[in-house]
Structure 1
Amino acid sequence: MLSLVDLRDRIGAGRLTPQGAVSLAREAIANRDPEVGAIVRLDPAAPVPDEGPLAGIAVGLKDIIDTADLPTEMGSPLYAGWRPRADAPVVARLKRLGAVPLAKTTTTAFAFLDPTETRNPRNLAHTPGGSSAGSAAAVAAGMLPLALGTQTGGSVIRPAAFCGVVGVKPSFRLLPTVGVKCFSWALDTVGLFAARVADAAHALALLADRPAIDLPAGDPGLPRIGLLRQDFCAPPAPEALAALERAAAAAERAGAQVRDLDLPPIFAEAFARHPVIQDFEAAQALAWEYDHHRNALPPLLRAQLDGAQRVGPAEYDASRRIAHQARRSLKDVFGEEGVDVILTLSAPGPAPEGLASTGDARFNRLWTLMGVPCVTVPVETTAEGLPLGVQVIARFGDDGRALAAARLIERAIG
């Protein structure tokens, strides 16, 4: 894989030019994408700045993020060839930092569940997950050192785990969602994919203009980790649970304090309310597409929006209240339980075989609803070469701590 930090170090040392770094990405795309299918559009004439902290870094953008230089097609023929007049603010920020928005990456239609044709580069017979399928696959295939995606349920953490890369869902609204096709305004979060935790931390710190998010040069201290199996939803595959136990044991050997953690019942209630909030808002966010082009929508999205028309304001408001109660309770979990981060599952198991499903987001939805930072770290691979990852979660606004704990686990696993 292409490491953002490594590329920047080589550029800083004069061993590589920004133009040369972007050429590496172009060559990798030419070699790998014909079999992976992660790229929707490639900018053939993207300018490569010589200056900036991300100069030489080619970036993939999930194709629901507006770009003035490339079409934004939402994974749907309804928007074929559609050209926004302006970049989304997060894209404008990338350009100010010297990065090169080189490619648009595949997305499920309107970032829901109907799968793309993208294949998992770890095993081409399996899904890369979704909805940020192309972003995860492009980084895993070594085509790009950085890619942006979005998460409304589990669309960053799950595909990152399936493809064996680092994925970050930051604290809610840390990165702007303006200029990103909305599915649920209370849940949609811009996240990113990178090869290693250090790459993701450096990129997020720059994008958010918060240097403290980046990993400290020295020892940040050993975290107190709460090990959570999330027993209020269907159990994971045995190999996923084994990967979680392995990561916890490695963190403990590295000096972290690890203890089992159980959540109060309010979290099971909140978990069940995520779909209500998502559907009520999706019915409004996609009202034009549904009212004028319902029959052109893919089957899973069409059926979901059919049902979403029946979700009323009273049910939505009650769900929002429960979510708010759970968020307040989560502060107590971190405080009274004496844990700095939560360690839990990223996905129910390895990537499913075939391209008919993007997998299940049941180990992600609650944390998206809570708005807290989440980082997935690869742990091991199955006999079929499919990655398994774990998820590190910190309190709201403590993105740097989540990343520091993730790096400890990454290093401890080796």
Structure 2
Amino acid sequence: MTDPSRLTATEASRAIAAGTLSPAALMEACLDRAAAREGVTRAFAWLDAPAARRAAAAARPGLLHGIPFGVKDVLDTADLPTGYGSPIWAGHRPRGDAAAVAAARAAGGALMGKTVTTEFATRNPGATTNPHNAAHTPGGSSSGSAAAVADFMVPFAFGTQTAGSIVRPAAYCGVVGYKPSFGTLHRGGMKVCSESLDTIGIMARSVADCALAMGAMTGRDLGDPDAKPGRAPRLGLTVGHDASSATPETLALLDRAAEAARRAGAEVVPFALPPALLRAAELHGHMMNMETRQALAWEYAHCRPQLSAVLLDRLDWSGTQPPAMLDEARAAAAAARAAFAAATEGLDAILTPSAPGEAPEGLSYTGDATFNLLWTLLWGPNVTVPVATGPKGLPMGVQVAGRMGDDRQVLAVARWVQAAMG
């Protein structure tokens, strides 16, 4: 019999519904896998096996009935500590669940544990390693969620994205990362840092899993990404606003993806980024860092010695910027969204790199968000699908991005592109 921990969320859901798998047996298999691998991967900030078993036993009927899930440790949980990746909040016990966690439980999901995040989902990394090679980063800031899903510890997990914190680690770890349209999942109970950018999403081992989980939590019909589309898509092709950051293997992979899509019947056309998008990308750092300084005002004022040097550097810098810069960055983002909607008329989605290359070696740096930040600030859905391995044998993905609200279409196109690449 197949080890239940190897099942995707969709496969496990079908088995539970058919009575051939129990929530308890699935959770036990996931806990066994975590016990075998956690010493190397270090994906969890908090893993309480008895609590996970109780969650499986108490799982409600629903689309996610009995499916274990991980929660990035910037989202509150009523029954597990929430530390936000910072020693300042070590041992913090929220009274209730974040809205997204409550939605997953209401749909039948069983909370398995809290996954490692970088400090406040910013830059300073945790201890998590890449399951494919422990000498390499899993990416960040949703490090533990990407690693736990990739290492078969849990079928799906929550991530959050401000620049590239879902898509990039998912690409580095070889799983599907789905950042939905801004605001799809309510941020109540999340340690928000950038009011204009932070978005809750998920990671799983298939596009269908992402559609299942997000649909179950929101009540939205996200379709069946595994169904054959009625027609091949029309795709805009771009390296993004900073082509110089792409490694040769990333450029080659994007070319292969475009050619595979054409062979499968898609129309793939060059997409030139409008000037408004380039300006918004330039100001992304101002918006993210200035809003983070606002969000962490208490920690900055009262707990400065417990903040990392890299975070303090950004917060100090943000304090030197005039408030008008934040207004300008927000206005530029709004203008970019309007320009993107107009420029992509007639396109189904954008095809673009997921990351500059393979996961970097070492654990002190979680990678560059250059190929993600623009699509994040445009507020539309972004999906990365694993399609290749790089020269060091590590996973690589391609990213599909779309207009705000086009989640169903972008999920379907992402699966279509993945299938086209074989």
Give TM class, smaller chain: over 0.9
- Tell whether the 8 Å contact from 1:166 to 1:194 is kept in structure 2 after alignment: yes
Match of 1:64 in 2: 74
Match of 2:159 in 1: 149
Could you report, residue by residue, the CA deviation over 1:250-306 in whole angstroms, capped at 9, with x for unpaired residues? 222221111111111121111001111112211110000000011210111111111
Note the 1:202-281 alignment, pairs <5 A. 202-215=212-225, 217-232=227-242, 234-281=244-291
In structure 2, distance between residues paired with 1:285 and 1:214? 38
Displacement of 1:13: 2.1
Displacement of 1:183: 0.8
Change (3 A) 1:212 1:357: closer
1:191 matches 2:196: no
1:331 matches 2:341: yes
Match of 2:62 in 1: 52
Could you report, residue by residue, the CA deviation over 1:145-202 in whole angstroms, capped at 9, with x for unpaired residues? 0000100011000000100100000000011111110110110000100001111111
- Tell whether the 8 Å contact from 1:61 to 1:135 is kept in structure 2 after alignment: yes
Match of 1:363 in 2: 371
- Tell whether the 8 Å contact from 1:149 to 1:193 is kept in structure 2 after alignment: yes
- Tell whether the 8 Å contact from 1:2 to 1:144 is kept in structure 2 after alignment: no
1:118 matches 2:128: yes
Change (3 A) 1:50 1:19: farther
In structure 2, distance between residues paired with 1:391 and 1:250? 14
1:7 matches 2:15: no
In structure 1, distance between residues paired with 2:359 and 2:25? 34
- Tell whether the 8 Å contact from 1:202 to 1:215 is kept in structure 2 after alignment: no
- Tell whether the 8 Å contact from 2:290 to 2:315 is kept in structure 1 after alignment: no
Displacement of 1:412: 1.5
Displacement of 1:233: 5.2
In structure 1, distance between residues paired with 2:91 and 2:133? 31
One-letter amino acid of the counterpart of residue 351, structure 1 = A
Displacement of 1:315: 1.2
- Tell whether the 8 Å contact from 1:18 to 1:50 is kept in structure 2 after alignment: no
SS at match of 1:72: coil
- Tell whether the 8 Å contact from 1:232 to 1:268 is kept in structure 2 after alignment: no
* Aligned residue among 331, 336, 346 for 1:321: 331
Which deviates more from structure 2 when the two are superposed, residues 28-37 or residues 8-17? 8-17
1:127 matches 2:137: yes
In structure 1, distance between residues paired with 2:100 and 2:241? 36
Match of 2:3 in 1: none
In structure 2, distance between residues paired with 1:228 and 1:382? 20
Which deviates more from structure 2 when the two are superposed, residues 159-168 or residues 52-61? 52-61
Q: How high is the TM-score relative to the length of structure 1?
A: 0.97
In structure 1, distance between residues paired with 2:289 and 2:41? 31
Question: Over aligned residue pairs, what C-alpha RMSD do you find?
Answer: 1.3
In structure 2, distance between residues paired with 1:73 and 1:56? 26
* Aligned residue among 27, 33, 42 for 2:32: 27
Match of 2:420 in 1: 412
Match of 1:38 in 2: 43
Q: How high is the TM-score relative to the length of structure 2?
A: 0.95
SS at match of 1:47: helix
SS at match of 2:26: helix
Displacement of 1:217: 3.9
One-letter amino acid of the counterpart of residue 24, structure 2 = Q
Poorly superposed stretches of 4+, deviation over 6 Å: none
Match of 2:351 in 1: 343
Displacement of 1:50: 5.7
Match of 2:147 in 1: 137
Change (3 A) 1:340 1:212: same
Match of 2:396 in 1: 388
Change (3 A) 1:231 1:92: closer
1:308 matches 2:313: no
SS at match of 2:55: coil
Displacement of 1:216: 7.0
In structure 1, distance between residues paired with 2:264 and 2:303? 55
- Tell whether the 8 Å contact from 1:233 to 1:362 is kept in structure 2 after alignment: no
In structure 1, distance between residues paired with 2:244 and 2:119? 27
Q: How many residues align structurally?
A: 412
Segments of 5+ residues of structure 2 without an aligned counterpart are 1-5
Match of 1:378 in 2: 386
In structure 1, distance between residues paired with 2:278 and 2:392? 33
In structure 2, distance between residues paired with 1:232 and 1:34? 37
Which deviates more from structure 2 when the two are superposed, residues 47-56 or residues 71-80? 47-56
Displacement of 1:320: 1.4
Displacement of 1:220: 4.1
In structure 2, distance between residues paired with 1:252 and 1:175? 34
One-letter amino acid of the counterpart of residue 120, structure 2 = F
* Aligned residue among 376, 391, 403 for 2:411: 403
Could you report, residue by residue, the CA deviation over 1:326-347 in whole angstroms, capped at 9, with x for unpaired residues? 1100011111xx2110000110
One-letter amino acid of the counterpart of residue 127, structure 2 = E
- Tell whether the 8 Å contact from 2:60 to 2:105 is kept in structure 1 after alignment: no
1:167 matches 2:172: no
Displacement of 1:249: 1.6
Match of 2:108 in 1: 98
In structure 2, distance between residues paired with 1:183 and 1:310? 18
In structure 1, distance between residues paired with 2:390 and 2:397? 11
